Amino acid sequence: MLQIDTWKRVLIWLVVVAGIMLALPNGFYTRVETHNDAVKALEAGGSAAGLSEQADMWPSYLPSGLVNLGLDLRGGAHLLAEVKVADVYAARIKGSWPEIRDLLREERARVGTVRLQKSADDELRIKISKPEQLQVAASLIRGLARPVTSLSGAGASDIEVSVEGDVIIVQLSEAEKLATDERTVRQSLEIIRRRIDEVGTREPTIQRQGVDRILIQVPGLGSAAELKSIIGTTAQLTFHSVVSRANSADAPAGAGNYVLPSLDEDGVFYVLEEAAVVSGEDLVDAQPDFDQNGRPAVSFRFNTTGARRFGDYTAENIGSPFAIVLDSEVISAPVIQSHIAGGSGIITGNFSLEESTNLAVLLRAGALPAGLEFLEERTIGPELGADSIEAGKLACIVAFVGVLVFMVLSYGTFGVFANIALVINVILIFGLLSML
């Protein structure tokens, strides 16, 4: 007769008990799922009535992991989005203007004064007061070109500089546009994944389709509109120099500037420099917080580069206003009172606690590098999945009972032992899937 050491028997039964405990929540799927959602809401600072009662629907000392159901069984949201990669070209080329302007100003004795002309979004048109020095100025700008960081663009420069009449034209090169497209789509994929992970959804499918499209499927989400609200907001935070304050959106801005509305002050607009002092790309953390008056706010922290740039700017512009811009609206335009070192600060405004929490999530996940156009959106109801689950349950019960009866009739006592082992094996599989 087979003899098993006592310690092995104890270990086997401990594994079996652990498997049963891990698999147990799946027998109370709806109750445990409600409990898990309530716990997450409470941890995120939620205070809605009933959350505590929902959190108590399942004992906290028991495991609460569940086998994740896919979109076909659980229902959810399906989106096919196209990344507007061309939006990045304009941001890239506009962002290069301060560097070009400072370079040509240093050579003012040779090229004269420098003026930025109105132009298309993806180019800069620059005019100098000494037209005979156009080629010299163009050569200086070419010196700012950097190599394209991609295998397909090896040896190419990121900008193209040409002279047309009395104007210098600066554009992104084709090689840089291709490299930018690839970076933009990859960055969008990562940011979408991080945003969806932040809200705790299970088993999302996020994958690239074609050159500039992204497929997003999230089981268990109520609607496609809810999914769009999670991933479609850019949450792009930037800090700009304030040129002037205006009472109309038609206020003259001048080349290199633009007009944005105030978020909290109706009828108030700000003329800002287009080139940002610091952007949200330099953020390393954002958390819901409270200001000195106890109102909801968002605290943020820059990385080393952003902290140095922000610190230098505030040190050089004490007494001047600067604008905090979120998604093309001026949240606040405070006057710089002193040098702000350390790279941290706080965003105040008319936020609710939920709005400050959501804003912190979006800022922490990062800004989408380009807009998204949703080509296809579907809300998949759980009805078909519920039918499939019920049919699957019935099929499993019939097949399981049939196998158990067949084993007992065929093998007698040994069939009973085999059936016990089979049941335990299924429980362990469900426990392992729940743990994952």
Helix (H, G, I), strand (E, B) or coil at 322: strand
Say whether 62 sits in a helix, a strand or coil. coil
**C-alpha dist (Å) from residue 241 to 299, 313, 323, 348, 383:** 21, 9, 6, 18, 54
Cα–Cα distance for residue pair 322/320, rounded to 1 Å: 7
Cβ neighbors of 206 (< 8 A, separation 6 or more) are: 189, 192, 193, 196, 214, 215, 216, 217
Please compute the mean of the pLDDT values over residues 392-396 and round it to a whole number: 85
Q: Between the CA of residue 411 and those of 175, 419, 425, what are the distances in Å?
A: 72, 11, 19
CA-based angle 230:233:236, to the nearest 5? 130
Q: What is the mean pLDDT of the chain?
A: 80
If pLDDT is split at 50, 70 and 90, which confidence band does 271 have?
Answer: confident
Specify the pLDDT at position 154.
Answer: 65
The answer to whether residue 46 scores a pLDDT higher than 60 is no
Calculated CA dihedral for residues 275, 278, 283, 288, nearest 10 degrees:
-100
297, containing H or E segment = strand 296-302
Amino acid at 282: D
- Judge whether 213 and 73 are in contact, CB under 8 Å: no
pLDDT score recorded for residue 405 = 92
Give yes or no for residue 202 having a pLDDT over 70.
Answer: no
Domain 86-177 and domain 237-361, same fold? Reply is: yes
Tokens read off for 177 = 């546009």
pLDDT of 258 above 60: yes
Looking at residue 150, its pLDDT comes to: 64
What would the two tokens of residue 200 be? 């705790």
Q: Which of 35-44, 188-197, 228-237, 289-298 has the lowest mean pLDDT?
A: 228-237
Distance CA(116)–CA(126), nearest Å, equals 5
More confident residue, 128 or 280: 128
Cβ proximity of 343 and 312 under 8 Å: no
* pLDDT higher than threshold 80 for residue 25: yes
User: What pLDDT was estimated at residue 363?
Assistant: 66
> Is the pLDDT reported for residue 350 higher than 80?
no
pLDDT of residue 11: 92
DSSP code for 326: E
* CATH, range 237-361: 3.30.1360.200
**Span 95-124, average pLDDT:** 85
Model pTM score = 0.55
The domain 86-177 having CATH identifier 3.50.70: the answer here is no
Tell which residue, 288, 291, 301, has the closest CA to residue 341: 301
Domains of the chain: which residue ranges? 6-75+381-435, 86-177, 237-361
CA distances to 1, 124, 414, 423 from 387, rounded to whole Å, are: 48, 59, 37, 25
Stretch 278-293: mean pLDDT, rounded?
Answer: 76
pLDDT for 260-270, tens place per residue?
888 777 788 88
At which residue do the structure tokens 């953020």 appear? 283
pLDDT in tens, 50-94: 677 777 788 888 888 888 776 666 677 888 888 888 878 887 788
pLDDT digits (tens, 9 = 90+) for 300-323: 787 887 888 888 888 888 888 888
Please state whether 273 falls in left (phi above 0), alpha (psi between -120 and 50) or beta: beta
